[in-house]
Amino acid sequence: MKGKFITVEGTEGVGKTTNIQCIASWLDERGIAYISTREPGGTALGEKIRGLLLDKENTGMAASAELLLMFAARAQHLEEKIIPALEVGTWVLCDRFTDATYAYQGFGRGLNLEHIKRLEALVQGDLHPDFTLILDIDPELGMSRVRARGELDRFESEALEFFDRVRAGYRERASDNPSRYCLVDASSPLAVVQEHIVAALNAFVGGAE
């Protein structure tokens, strides 16, 4: 029996890290075995690539180089960690995955979505998340949370218009495929956000049974 693949997405400061803990508790309560991981990163090689991608010194990185680095990290992550876990029935909870590539490199940077689709097919074959939670927030509010936390990385240093495009990309993907995505308003108080998340997870397992 294969494990389920859950991903969490959204623009900066939307509360992914905070809400992944809520999903982890929900899995623990049900005695479901899982691993929690992230992109870019998740493996030794992937974390090195993450360092390159987030380093503010790499200001001149070409958008296509950024795209290829995302998929290079993902290829390693899939082979080394995600696929082996799913194959033994372990669930995978991943902080960002390919939806982030469509949203950031496609909608944000303006790269051709068909090129992303081809790289997705090359690296993933027909493997896609079973359930994707998109935390939705006005980027201005998200960035005020990020700024309160400290120094900004290369992505966080982008202009607000960039994140408006990224947000629009996520929303478009969610509305195109409502059976896989759940869009939650992340500007509400945390307790309300988490009520929605738990309801969505219950509906997902109810539907998956």
Residue numbers at the binding site for ligand T5A (CB under 6 A) = 10, 12-18, 39-40, 70, 95-96, 100-101, 104-105, 145-146, 149, 155-156, 186, 189-190, 193
Residue 31 CB, shortest distance to ligand T5A, in Å, is 25
Tell me how far apart the terminal alpha carbons of the chain are, to the nearest angstrom: 13
| Residue matched to tokens 């493996």 | 43
Residue 3 CB, shortest distance to ligand T5A, in Å, is 20
Comparison of 96 and 167: residue with beta carbon closer to ligand T5A: 96
Cβ-Cβ contacts under 8 Å for 31 (sequence gap 6 or more): none
SS3 91: strand
CA distances from 14 to 65, 129, 185 (A): 26, 20, 9
Comparison of 52 and 83: residue with beta carbon closer to ligand T5A: 52
According to DSSP, residue 89 is labeled T
Residue 112 CB, shortest distance to ligand T5A, in Å, is 15
Residue 133 CB, shortest distance to ligand T5A, in Å, is 11
